[in-house]
């Protein structure tokens, strides 16, 4: 339980004081990157049967809702067999044309150019030319 509380405090701090990606208006992009990592961590914990998995899943739902308020929609794309899952953060709203999209696959985040759509097929990111991590 202590780990879940500590994890929630760290995530909350990241959303209040996110690391900067670039220009000052890019704070939402930093939040999207952190959110993808949080969601990925929660998925891995739930697959591993972690006792904190339920708390992490609740935190994940709150993370997705917070990200919507900051101009990003998170979607999950899975292949037909259900083995491969990809998380995508797509910019929405009036700033969408100026923000980058993000695709998390196998723990690595790939970035699109501002205004470009994140393309996913069969649970995989199609554009892997610009890795972030």
Of 80 and 52, the one with more pLDDT: 80
Say what the pLDDT of residue 17 is: 53
- Tally: H helices and E strands in the chain: 3, 6
Of 88 and 40, the one with more pLDDT: 88
- Contacts of residue 80, Cβ cutoff 8 Å, sequence gap at least 6: 122
What is the rounded average pLDDT of the residues 104-128?
Answer: 90
Of 86 and 50, the one with more pLDDT: 86
For residue range 53-81, list pLDDT tens digits in order.
Answer: 667 667 777 888 888 888 899 888 888 77
| pLDDT tier at 24, thresholds 50, 70, 90 | very low
**pTM confidence score:** 0.72
Rounded to a whole number of angstroms, the distance between the first and last alpha carbons of the chain is 29
| pLDDT tier at 51, thresholds 50, 70, 90 | low
Q: Would you kindly state where each structural domain of the chain is located, as residue ranges?
A: 2-125
């Amino acid at each position: 339980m202590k780990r879940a509380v500590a994890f929630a405090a760290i995530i909350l701090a990241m959303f209040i004081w996110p690391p900067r990606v670039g220009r000052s208006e890019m704070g939402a992009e930093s939040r999207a990157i952190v959110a993808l990592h949080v969601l990925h961590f929660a998925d891995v914990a739930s697959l591993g049967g972690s006792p904190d998995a339920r708390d992490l899943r609740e935190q994940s739902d709150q993370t997705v809702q917070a990200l919507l308020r900051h101009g990003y929609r998170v979607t999950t794309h899975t292949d037909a067999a259900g083995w491969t899952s990809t998380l995508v953060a797509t910019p929405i709203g009036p700033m969408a044309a100026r923000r980058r999209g993000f695709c998390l696959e196998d723990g690595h985040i790939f970035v699109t150019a501002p205004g470009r759509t994140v393309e996913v097929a069969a649970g995989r990111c199609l554009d892997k030319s610009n890795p972030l991590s």
